[in-house]
């Protein structure tokens, strides 16, 4: 490209492709992801929230662990998300996964990057970002793994490398008929460390799109710890 064409290209592109709000599609100034209305509608997760799973709590206590995280502890030390999976956020995750709007990964990764500032991740340096894998069949249907996209977009911002030691080998469709314990075991059996899966002594940050029950992240964390990982924490784009 000649030296004259390059400076002209950007304004020309924005003329044909003006910036749009990632939530509602309304035109926004360049460099802005969300219009003011969509931005205001986002439910941010602020303390007090469960130290383990980030479930917000309406009371006035500085730190607490929710009933879900008592006793039958998760294998990850904590799971962080800075926004709730509701409204515009929920739609964006849906559009990324099922509408193939890959570009939304960049916007979601922005919130994940905010999550890296959470006190629970501040004094802990992950060696790598680890995407929760999709089953190969689902990967063929969808053509991409949204957790991969989120990892790579986050990696571009924060510089932590992406490492994919996990693979998923069983299609877990019968989850609904199982109780909590059965669901956990079923999921746990679905993940294995792949051939390049040496995780010995690594501090790993598991990445997925949404945390709901935490059982998928738990299963992945269990496999990573069994494989010799030093510690596992989790970060998701949103929390259910
Ligand atoms: Zn909007
Ligand atoms: Zn909890």
pLDDT of amino acid 181: 75
Among 142, 139, 190, CA closest to 169 = 190
C-alpha–C-alpha distance, residues 75 and 73, integer Å: 7
Distance 137 CA to ligand 1 centre (A): 34
To 10 degrees, the CA torsion angle through 189, 194, 195, 201? -100
Residue ranges of the chain with per-residue pLDDT less than 70:
1-17, 72, 171-176
Distance 98 CA to ligand 1 centre (A): 20
Q: Per-residue pLDDT tens for 211-229?
A: 998 999 999 999 999 999 9
Distance 19 CA to ligand 1 centre (A): 11
Angle between helices 87-98 and 104-115 (to 10 degrees): 130
Distance 50 CA to ligand 2 centre (A): 5
Distance 67 CA to ligand 2 centre (A): 7
pLDDT of amino acid 232: 98
Distance 110 CA to ligand 1 centre (A): 16
pLDDT of amino acid 7: 61
Distance 78 CA to ligand 2 centre (A): 9
- List domains and CATH numbers for the chain: 47-239 (3.40.50.2020)
C-alpha–C-alpha distance, residues 167 and 195, integer Å: 9
Widest distance between CA atoms in the chain: 65
pLDDT of amino acid 1: 42
Distances (CA, A) of 164 to 20, 113, 147: 33, 19, 10
pLDDT of amino acid 2: 45
pTM confidence score? 0.89
pLDDT of amino acid 13: 60
**Token digits of residue 180:** 């909590």
Distance 123 CA to ligand 1 centre (A): 35
């Amino acid at each position: 490209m000649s030296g004259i064409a390059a400076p002209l290209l950007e304004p020309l592109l924005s003329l044909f492709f003006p910036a749009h709000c990632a939530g509602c599609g309304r035109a926004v100034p360049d460099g802005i992801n969300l219009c003011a209305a969509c931005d205001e509608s986002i439910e941010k997760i602020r303390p007090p929230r469960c130290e383990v799973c980030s479930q917000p709590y309406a009371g006035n206590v500085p730190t607490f662990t929710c009933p879900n995280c008592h006793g039958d502890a998760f294998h990850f030390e904590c799971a962080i998300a800075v926004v709730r999976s509701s409204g515009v956020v929920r739609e964006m995750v849906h559009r990324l996964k099922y509408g193939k709007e890959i570009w939304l990964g960049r916007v979601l990764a922005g919130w994940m990057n905010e999550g890296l500032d959470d006190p629970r991740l501040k004094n802990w340096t992950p060696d790598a970002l680890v995407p929760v894998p999709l089953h190969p069949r689902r990967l063929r249907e969808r053509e991409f793994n949204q957790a991969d996209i989120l990892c790579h977009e986050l990696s571009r911002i924060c510089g932590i490398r992406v490492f994919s030691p996990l693979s998923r080998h069983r299609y877990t469709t019968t989850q609904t008929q199982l109780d909590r314990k059965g669901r956990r075991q079923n999921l746990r059996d679905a993940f294995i460390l792949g051939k390049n899966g040496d995780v010995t002594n690594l501090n790993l940050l598991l990445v997925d799109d949404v945390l709901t029950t935490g059982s998928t992240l738990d299963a992945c964390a269990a496999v990573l710890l069994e494989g010799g990982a030093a510690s596992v924490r989790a970060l998701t784009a949103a929390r259910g």
